[in-house]
Amino acid sequence: MVNSLLRPLRRWPAVEAAVTRLAGHFTTWPVDEFARFVRAPVGSQLAAGEPVHPPASEAHHPAPPMSIAPATFELRFMKLHSEGRFDDMWEMLAEDAQRAWGGREAFIRDMPRMGDNTELLDVQVLNVKVLESWTDSRHERRYRNVAQVMLRYRVREQWRDWTLDRQVHLIPAAGGWRTLCYPPKVKSAAQSR
């Protein structure tokens, strides 16, 4: 409808330029896209006007992502583990755990894997507590604001299904959580005798 009304005006370029300039005063561009425009569109016969300045308001940016819940974080970690995506898991480790592994390549190489006959059927979150402080007695480290997550794994190994309850600890880092997944304790030759 608008095009049919403006079609007679297109025969007179000066009138079209005046209407375009007038319409430019009543319309605005979104703040985010304003930087793409330097001048208001005008007819080809008139000289360009003064540069158009962006409005005084700030650009609208999406809200920052919410911090992921500890249980959701650990479920994602276990999903990546069951899929064998150890490279993606590396960034989810706490710095202390990364140092204990000795680097990304060592983690990818030495992280325990599920056997060919083993399948993770389900992971349930039984309980989540945020502790004011927690001491890792195995590594003699004390942490503050630790998420203690109790999980129940349901696993199928060949023809047998079984469940395993496990407690994991997550520490806050970079707007989310990081897991304290350390290398498995290896028995030395002296201990195995």
- pLDDT tens readout for residues 156-178: 888 889 898 999 999 998 778 99
Read off the pTM.
Answer: 0.59
Is residue 10 domain-shared with residue 42, that is, in the same domain? yes
Q: Write the CA distances from 106 to 34, 110, 111, 144, integer angstroms.
A: 49, 6, 8, 28
CATH number at residue 146: 3.10.450.50
Is residue 79 domain-shared with residue 23, that is, in the same domain? no
Is residue 102 domain-shared with residue 143, that is, in the same domain? yes
Residue 131 lies inside a defined structural domain of this protein:
yes
Is residue 86 domain-shared with residue 52, that is, in the same domain? no
Question: What is the chain's pLDDT, residue by residue, as a tens digit (193 residues)?
Answer: 656 666 665 666 776 766 666 565 555 555 555 455 555 555 555 555 565 565 565 555 544 444 578 999 999 998 998 888 999 999 999 999 999 999 999 999 998 887 778 888 888 999 999 999 999 888 889 999 999 999 998 988 888 898 989 999 999 987 789 999 888 875 444 443 3
Residue 128 lies inside a defined structural domain of this protein:
yes
Is residue 21 domain-shared with residue 102, that is, in the same domain? no
Is residue 80 domain-shared with residue 150, that is, in the same domain? yes
Is residue 45 domain-shared with residue 108, that is, in the same domain? no
Q: What is the pLDDT of residue 24?
A: 59
Q: Which domain holds residue 114?
A: 70-179
Is residue 84 domain-shared with residue 145, that is, in the same domain? yes
Is residue 79 domain-shared with residue 13, that is, in the same domain? no
DSSP 93: B
Is residue 87 domain-shared with residue 128, that is, in the same domain? yes
Among 37, 59, 81, give the residue marking a domain's end.
59
Distance, CA of 64 to CA of 46 (rounded, Å): 45
Distance, CA of 97 to CA of 180 (rounded, Å): 6
Distance, CA of 109 to CA of 95 (rounded, Å): 18
Distance, CA of 56 to CA of 84 (rounded, Å): 51
Is residue 175 domain-shared with residue 142, that is, in the same domain? yes
Residue 184 lies inside a defined structural domain of this protein:
no
Question: How many structural domains are present in the chain?
Answer: 2
Q: What is the pLDDT of residue 188?
A: 41
Strands 160-173 and 141-157: antiparallel
Q: What is the pLDDT of residue 189?
A: 42
Residue 185 lies inside a defined structural domain of this protein:
no
Among 59, 86, 106, give the residue marking a domain's end.
59
Is residue 124 domain-shared with residue 156, that is, in the same domain? yes
Q: Strand, helix or coil at 66?
A: coil
